[in-house]
Amino acid sequence: MLLEEIKRDYGNLKIYINGEIKESKTDTWGKAFNPTKDEVIANVPFSTRDEVREAIQSANEAFEKWKEIPITQRIQYLFAIKNKLEEYSETIARMITQNHGKTIIEARGDMRRSIENVEAAISVAYTLYKGEHLDLVSSEVDETVVREPLGVFGIITPFNFPVMVPFWFLPYAIVLGNTVVIKPSEITPVPIEMIIRIFEEVKLPKGVVNVVHGAKDVVDEMFSNKLIQGVTFVGSTKVGKYIYENSAKYGKKAIVQAGAKNFVVVMPDADFNKTIPSIVSAFFGNAGQRCLAAANLVVVGDVYDEVKRKFIEASKQLKLGYGLDDTVDMGPVVTNDAKKRILGYIDKGIKEGAKLVLDGRNVRIQEYPNGYFIGPTIFNEVTPEMIIAKEEIFGPVASIIHAKSLDEAIDMINKSNYGNAASIFTSSGYYARKFRMEVNAGNIGINVGVAAPMAFFPFGGRKESFFGVLHGQIDSVEFFTDKKVVITRW
């Protein structure tokens, strides 16, 4: 069944500053597309420097009052936001599908994870936010640690999870007493329109959350602005390095979650009936545009041909189309540029000598002839040195690599520049434990293709997939507060 679009055209997207939803005064506008139809669905204002400064200023003024509001009251706003997210979940999910291209089921997952983070942030307020105290550290001397919010934070997010990634940080930041300026991806900014409406409907005090649109210029203003205490960034490694360097240069705290090239290892003793559907979804879910998407399939031992054959057969069954059709398994990639980049990688793979055993380059979806579709694409006989095995493609392209042993597979993973996630499929506790202990990646899946941590766990990442000390989700408590130590003698 094809679900209805919320709107065909969202017009000029608005910015949200000091509790006011308003039109930007910028004369630089981008366009947000529906990638299934190659249609413009919104105009995206690239906020002026003055608007960004105004947003930061308003967040700073709001901070002075917001931090004084008792935690029990701040939590009530989060309950209200959670309820509104539940109420509008389907509407926002459809907006995500329209602007991003992922299927409605995936978009609903985006919403569920967002809500889960609000719930986790509520729990944090009553638990991890508390300080510590020890009487008599010395004669008549007691020592106490209290946690305090810091002020204004910038939240910079990628295109692939337009709502969930802002919610990896936003609810924690505000429940702990901080205020924020969000800069969504300029590629998928449409769903944030509804999120802004939610803040208005729950009467969140003015300036606690502000939203500006744009790209590098907004980020640069965040760095040069003294009122910004820190930034959270999720996106590519190239931009992530820029963010981390500038955080050091301008003295800001930073969480930087970056790019990935994730491995899935299949051992000969894996239960293939369960493994194959799981890896198909890990490689091609979200059209391969997940930071936890599988990219390299390493098959160990003499089951290589069997796994390859079953993987190709199952991948061929995926139905492509408009994600609003709830029978569709895979939507288009996000932009025409993304499509060109991915096709470029497929050409590179062919030139490098990998064997293209499933070619998704020429798929045509009859109803959507202009959509940015690429079908599941699989390379065989890939070696770890090939570019397609090393660089992040961020699309529906899988590379199958053979390894003689688990040691060889682990060695390949550990030589990768990235360390976001790695999974193993096996029925051996020994292999699973060895994998968990020896693989250098932040999120490990054992018989799980997409190792996505729940909100109440940190979101890992290592090597070029992560820069900083603290991770997103629950680690935010450490990030969005600072500790003050009070030593008392009476």
- Contacts of residue 429, Cβ cutoff 8 Å, sequence gap at least 6: none
- Judged by CB under 6 A, the residue of 78, 115, 195, 219 near ligand NAD is 219
Check residue 395 for interaction with ligand NAD (CB under 6 A): no
Check residue 117 for interaction with ligand NAD (CB under 6 A): no
Give CA–CA dist 443/465, Å, rounded: 11
- Judged by CB under 6 A, the residue of 163, 254, 258, 398 near ligand NAD is 258
The three-state secondary structure class of 458 is strand
Give CA–CA dist 466/461, Å, rounded: 5
- Of all residues in the shown chain, the one whose CB is closest to ligand NAD is 235
Comparing CB distances to ligand NAD, the nearer of 110 and 329 is 110
Comparing CB distances to ligand NAD, the nearer of 219 and 378 is 219
Pairing relation of β-strands 443-446 and 294-300? Answer: unpaired
Give CA–CA dist 162/101, Å, rounded: 11
Q: Which of residues 122-181 bind ligand NAD (CB under 6 A)?
A: 156-160
Comparing CB distances to ligand NAD, the nearer of 185 and 380 is 185
Count residues near ligand NAD (CB under 6 A). 27
Give CA–CA dist 23/210, Å, rounded: 14
- Judged by CB under 6 A, the residue of 32, 291, 299, 439 near ligand NAD is 291
Answer yes or no: 67 catalytic: no
User: Given the rule CB under 6 A, which of 26-34, 116-124, 232-240, 380-388 is the region that contacts ligand NAD?
Assistant: 232-240
User: Given the rule CB under 6 A, which of 38-46, 256-264, 321-329, 367-375 is the region that contacts ligand NAD?
Assistant: 256-264
Q: Which residue from 450, 477, 471 is spatially nearest to 459, judged by alpha carbons?
A: 471
Q: Which of residues 5-64 bind ligand NAD (CB under 6 A)?
A: none
Give CA–CA dist 414/319, Å, rounded: 34
CB of 31 to ligand NAD, least distance (A): 14
How many CB atoms sit inside 10 A of residue 206's CB? 18
Give CA–CA dist 264/279, Å, rounded: 8
CB of 112 to ligand NAD, least distance (A): 16
Check residue 99 for interaction with ligand NAD (CB under 6 A): no
Comparing CB distances to ligand NAD, the nearer of 156 and 265 is 156
- Judged by CB under 6 A, the residue of 284, 459, 479, 480 near ligand NAD is 459
Check residue 231 for interaction with ligand NAD (CB under 6 A): no
Identity of the amino acid at 197? R
| 356, β-bridge pairs | 379
Check residue 267 for interaction with ligand NAD (CB under 6 A): no
Give CA–CA dist 47/59, Å, rounded: 16
CB of 276 to ligand NAD, least distance (A): 24
Burial class (CB in 10 A: 0-12, 13-18, 19+), 482: middle
Site pattern 416..435 for ligand NAD (x: CB under 6 A): ----x---------------
CB of 134 to ligand NAD, least distance (A): 37
Burial class (CB in 10 A: 0-12, 13-18, 19+), 197: middle
CB of 330 to ligand NAD, least distance (A): 18
- Contacts of residue 290, Cβ cutoff 8 Å, sequence gap at least 6: 160, 450
Q: Which of 243, 260, 282, 291 is catalytic?
A: 291
- Judged by CB under 6 A, the residue of 154, 177, 189, 235 near ligand NAD is 235
Radius of gyration of the chain (CA): 23
CB of 469 to ligand NAD, least distance (A): 15
User: Given the rule CB under 6 A, which of 11-19, 92-100, 215-223, 358-366 is the region that contacts ligand NAD?
Assistant: 215-223
CB of 403 to ligand NAD, least distance (A): 24
Q: Which of residues 184-213 bind ligand NAD (CB under 6 A)?
A: 185-186
Check residue 328 for interaction with ligand NAD (CB under 6 A): no
Burial class (CB in 10 A: 0-12, 13-18, 19+), 405: exposed
Comparing CB distances to ligand NAD, the nearer of 205 and 458 is 458
- Judged by CB under 6 A, the residue of 16, 345, 372, 394 near ligand NAD is 394
Q: Which of residues 60-89 bind ligand NAD (CB under 6 A)?
A: none
Buried b (16+ CB within 10 A) or exposed e, 50-68: ebbbbbbbbbbbbbeebbe
Give CA–CA dist 478/457, Å, rounded: 13
Comparing CB distances to ligand NAD, the nearer of 150 and 219 is 219
Comparing CB distances to ligand NAD, the nearer of 236 and 414 is 236
Give CA–CA dist 25/15, Å, rounded: 10
Widest Cα–Cα separation across the chain: 81
Q: Which residue from 313, 281, 305 is spatially nearest to 294, judged by alpha carbons?
A: 281
Q: CB–CB of 71/138 below 8 Å?
A: no
- Judged by CB under 6 A, the residue of 236, 383, 414, 427 near ligand NAD is 236
Q: Which residue from 428, 388, 394, 434 is spatially nearest to 414, judged by alpha carbons?
A: 434
CB of 259 to ligand NAD, least distance (A): 3
Give CA–CA dist 46/25, Å, rounded: 9
List residues with catalytic annotation. Answer: 291
Site residues (vs ligand NAD, CB under 6 A): 156-160, 183, 185-186, 215-216, 219, 234-236, 239, 242, 257-260, 291, 392, 394, 420, 459, 461, 465
